[in-house]
A and B are shown apart, each in its own frame.
Chain A
Amino acid sequence: MTVTDEKPRAGRPEEIRAVPVRHWGRWVAAVIIAYIAVWAIYSVVNNPNFGWDVIGQNFTITAVMTGIGKTLELTAIAMVMGVVGGVLLAIMRLSPNPLISGSAWLYIWAFRGTPVLVQILLWAFIKALVPQLSIGIPFGPTFAHFDANTLITPFVAGCLGLGLNEAAYMSEIVRAGILSVDQGQAEAASALGMSRAKTMRRIVLPQAMRVIIPPTGNETISMLKTSSLVSVIAVPELLYSVQIIYGRTYQTIPLLLLASIWYLIMTSILTVGQFYLERYFGRGTAQRQTMLERLWSNLRARRTVRRTAVEGREP
């Protein structure tokens, strides 16, 4: 048995300052990409068919703004319907009662198996299917009648089409999230005397959120764009609003580009929001940094390294 000398070695060995490997390939790639980018921007700016002046003139006109409002409204309503319906369907799907899980399965099968555009059209033409909607007990008395067309306006039809379809997709996301939570968590909760409902709400779902949030963000971004489908049933959202304008002025391309730019702006904002949501629900695990935070911490670290290097050399 040997006993090592406990005294630290006098004078730490010199810090390694090696010449880093040069990546010449990256420089070549960067030059080529920069060249292509300059060419692309040049041709876009100088091609009059893009109609930048038209885009500029119409960018914030009232029709476009109300269209954006309707798009956001549709997205929000459809996603709320999707998330609430999805959680409900997921819990039903995991129920030990085969009738309950079976009916959830049937719903998901039907709404995932048909195109959302067809569903939207069916909701819009609901009057042909059921002219009268009534509230009452099936096969029993009815309490109120509604005309299908006054109740199911194009906007309501759009919400139903998008929201009910989304619920089917969300349920699979929520179910995957619930199943991702360690079985021991539910066991610990029930060992403490918590009911199944309370265990789900307080213990399992908050942890499932970490798995559920990222794909839900994607679904929201996707919904923002999918909502343009309701233009076929004349809901004046962003796409339909610009369609009306170019139907009148024949400036098709500039107005479609205008809509695209707005969609890009909105999805970009949603992406930022998603980041902060993910970070909130990732509590207790590794913290993620924004690009800015990472830049700051890197700069700070670099400065301290340089300072210690300078100070270290002085004595």
Chain B
Amino acid sequence: MSGVGLDKPGAEPADGDGAPGGAPDGAPGQPMVRSEGVCKSFGRLDVLKGIDLEVMPGEVMCVIGPSGSGKSTFLRCINHLEKINAGRLWVNGHLVGYRERGGKLHELRESEVAAQRRDIGMVFQRFNLFPHMTALENVMEAPVQVRRIPRAKAREAAGALLERVGLGDKARSYPSQLSGGQQQRVAIARALAMEPALMLFDEPTSALDPELVGEVLEVMKQLAVDGMTMIVVTHEMGFAREVGDSLVFMDGGVVVEKGRPREVLANPQHQRTQDFLSKVL
């Protein structure tokens, strides 16, 4: 895994390499993600009942919890794939999806929401690669179409990214010709191509055969070592313990427990956390 230099806005908010689209402009010590009382309901069903969380730049936060606890929904709220019903959510100091003016919230226009999403990479449980494009074209698509980077330059960068996730030789393969683990690594490269300040992982290994989980976790671990800010919804306790800086246990739409992974996993304080961990460990 060669360290192809995508300069990451690492632990210290870098002095913004002049990249457009609102790269880190927060003051030092400002959280990358700040969530205050975030609520989300689908019709009558309350999925999130007030989430308070902070993620610092360079932090790797793992989120665990039973299915239906709202962890994926929370992740999708962060890049505004879901609209929150109450509370406030900031990424990089900017309110997600809204502008506050005169004590009132104004919805952002579609193009403005799209601009916010450019700095947030997302990796899905089911990969969601574009099946009509090769691996290389998948990675190039957003830089060329959204960032308007010249094709030749984007192709070179995409090749380097595929190299970085260990798939340099699969550039011309279509997703259907790749294994699940390879597809997910392409999906990670595709998200990285937009040079995001924050990466969201929505159960990235849950749809994989057991023997393919390792290769994806390895890429994610390398990313964490390189200083990427990451929020990872996962069932991989080993990854959470080894790579995570913090661990959040969610249940019933609330954060039940948060702490250092080793402490939470070894010595959970709440009964619900203990019950959950006793089932999965």
Interface residues of A (CB under 8 A from B): 182, 184-185, 187-196, 198, 202-203, 206-207, 283-285
Instruction: List, in ascending order, chain B residues with CB within 8 A of A284's CB.
Output: 131-133, 174-176
The 6 A-B pairs at the shortest CB distance, nearest first, are namely A193-B118, A188-B128, A192-B142, A284-B174, A191-B122, A184-B128
A182 to B130, CA, bound (A): 10
Say if the beta carbon of B146 comes within 8 Å of chain A: yes
Are A206's CB and B81's CB within 8 A? no
Are A195's CB and B131's CB within 8 A? no
Please, what's the 1-or-0 string for B153-182, where 1 marks a CB less than 8 Å from any CB in chain A? 000000000000000000000111000000
Are B81's CB and A187's CB within 8 A? yes
Instruction: Select the residue from B81, B115, B122, B145 with max chain A CB neighbours within 10 A.
Output: B145
Are A192's CB and B117's CB within 8 A? yes
Given contact pairs A190-B81, A192-B191, a sample of 11 additional A-B residue pairs in the complex whose CB atoms are under 8 Å apart: A182-B128, A184-B128, A185-B128, A189-B130, A191-B81, A191-B120, A193-B118, A195-B110, A202-B141, A203-B130, A206-B132
A184 to B174, CA, bound (A): 17
Say if the beta carbon of B49 comes within 8 Å of chain A: no
Measured CB to CB, the nearest residue on chain B to A201 is B145
Say if the beta carbon of B184 comes within 8 Å of chain A: no
| CB of A288 to closest CB in B, whole Å | 14
How many B residues, CB 8 Å from partner? 29
Instruction: List, in ascending order, chain B residues with CB within 8 A of A198's CB.
Output: 145-146
| CB of A190 to closest CB in B, whole Å | 7
Interface residues of B (CB under 8 A from A): 79, 81, 110-111, 114-115, 117-118, 120-122, 124, 126, 128-133, 141-142, 145-146, 174-176, 190-191, 194
Instruction: List, in ascending order, chain A residues with CB within 8 A of B128's CB.
Output: 182, 184-185, 187-188
With contact pairs A191-B120, A198-B145, A284-B174 given, residues A207 and B131 touching in the complex (Cβ less than 8 Å): yes
Instruction: Select the residue from B110, B141, B191 with max chain A CB neighbours within 10 A.
Output: B141
| CB of A185 to closest CB in B, whole Å | 6
Contact of B124 among A188, A283, A285 (CB under 8 A): A188
A184 to B129, CA, bound (A): 9
Are A285's CB and B130's CB within 8 A? no
Are B131's CB and A190's CB within 8 A? no
Contact of A285 among B129, B142, B176, B191 (CB under 8 A): B176
A-B contact pairs, 24 of them (CB 8 A): A185-B128, A187-B81, A187-B124, A188-B122, A188-B130, A190-B81, A191-B79, A191-B81, A191-B121, A191-B122, A192-B141, A192-B191, A193-B114, A193-B117, A194-B114, A194-B142, A195-B110, A198-B145, A198-B146, A207-B131, A283-B132, A284-B174, A285-B131, A285-B176
